[in-house]
């Protein structure tokens, strides 16, 4: 059995190691707050031609690529486990309500697992989250992450972060893309959606 002094030393060394690790991480991977996002994202103009989503929660039909043709489409990839997603979500609920009367607009909410949990666990946590946030729209799942991988490859994202929100025009071309969430994104989203709907 170790003495209290050794346990205390071990604790402080572990804490120091964690702080050093965080500083090293931040020096190689700094926060991306200054990056081009929304309508200035480098992904704007990229055509998305592969989308396969399955209903997870709520009354919905499977979504395939043809379902986005002719509609301005906002797709949000998120998870109940993701802190930034939790902050962003009420703004998306408000956006969906605002534009729900527009026949040529659709919002696709795609719940993603943050671990190797089962589909039933993901369905239960998503349903509870939607109920808590008073979201009246369905949620989808992205089987085998096919749609996410296609988006990451076409938009040259170099990986996939959460939340990722992408706005497509009526031809399936990216018009805006947000990775993560910053205050003010919701205003830009509304403006870009309005602009696309007027075209």
Return the pLDDT at 11. Answer: 57
Give a yes or no: residue 38 inside a domain. Answer: no
- 76 and 170 together in one domain: yes
* Dist CA 193 CA 37 (whole Å): 15
Give a yes or no: residue 46 inside a domain. Answer: no
Residue 192: C-alpha distances to residues 11, 103, 120 (Å): 50, 17, 35
Residue 1 has pLDDT above 60, yes or no: no
Give a yes or no: residue 44 inside a domain. Answer: no
Residue 149 has pLDDT above 90, yes or no: yes
Give a yes or no: residue 41 inside a domain. Answer: no
Q: Are 37 and 185 in contact (CB under 8 A)?
A: yes
Give a yes or no: residue 49 inside a domain. Answer: no
Return the pLDDT at 159. Answer: 85
Give a yes or no: residue 103 inside a domain. Answer: yes
Number of folded domains that form the chain: 2
2-30: per-residue pLDDT in tens? Answer: 566 665 666 565 555 554 444 343 333 33
For 144, half-sphere exposure in the C-beta direction (CA atoms, 13 angstrom radius) is: 4
Token reading at 42: 């480098």
Q: CB neighbours (10 Å) of residue 163? A: 23
Return the pLDDT at 80. Answer: 93
* Dist CA 66 CA 162 (whole Å): 25
Q: CB neighbours (10 Å) of residue 20? A: 10
Return the pLDDT at 16. Answer: 53
Which pTM does this prediction carry?
A: 0.81
Residue 83 has pLDDT above 60, yes or no: yes
CATH number at residue 152: 3.40.30.10
Return the pLDDT at 119. Answer: 79
């Amino acid at each position: 059995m170790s003495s209290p002094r050794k346990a205390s030393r071990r604790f402080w060394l572990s804490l120091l190691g964690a702080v050093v690790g965080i500083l090293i991480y931040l020096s190689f991977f700094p926060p991306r707050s200054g990056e081009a996002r929304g309508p200035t994202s480098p992904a704007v103009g990229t055509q998305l031609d592969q989308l396969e989503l399955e209903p997870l929660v709520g009354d919905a039909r499977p979504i395939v690529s043809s379902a986005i043709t002719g509609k301005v489409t906002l797709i949000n990839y998120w998870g109940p486990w993701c802190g930034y997603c939790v902050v962003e979500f009420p703004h998306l609920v408000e956006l969906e309500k605002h534009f729900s009367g527009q026949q040529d607009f659709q919002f696709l909410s795609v719940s993603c697992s943050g671990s190797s949990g089962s589909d039933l666990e993901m369905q239960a946590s998503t349903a509870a989250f939607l109920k808590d946030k008073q979201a009246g729209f369905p949620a989808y799942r992205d089987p085998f992450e096919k749609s996410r991988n296609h988006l990451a490859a076409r938009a040259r994202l170099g990986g996939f972060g959460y939340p990722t929100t992408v706005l497509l025009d009526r031809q399936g071309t990216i018009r805006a893309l947000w990775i993560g969430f910053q205050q003010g994104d919701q205003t830009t989203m509304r403006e870009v959606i309005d602009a696309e709907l007027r075209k």
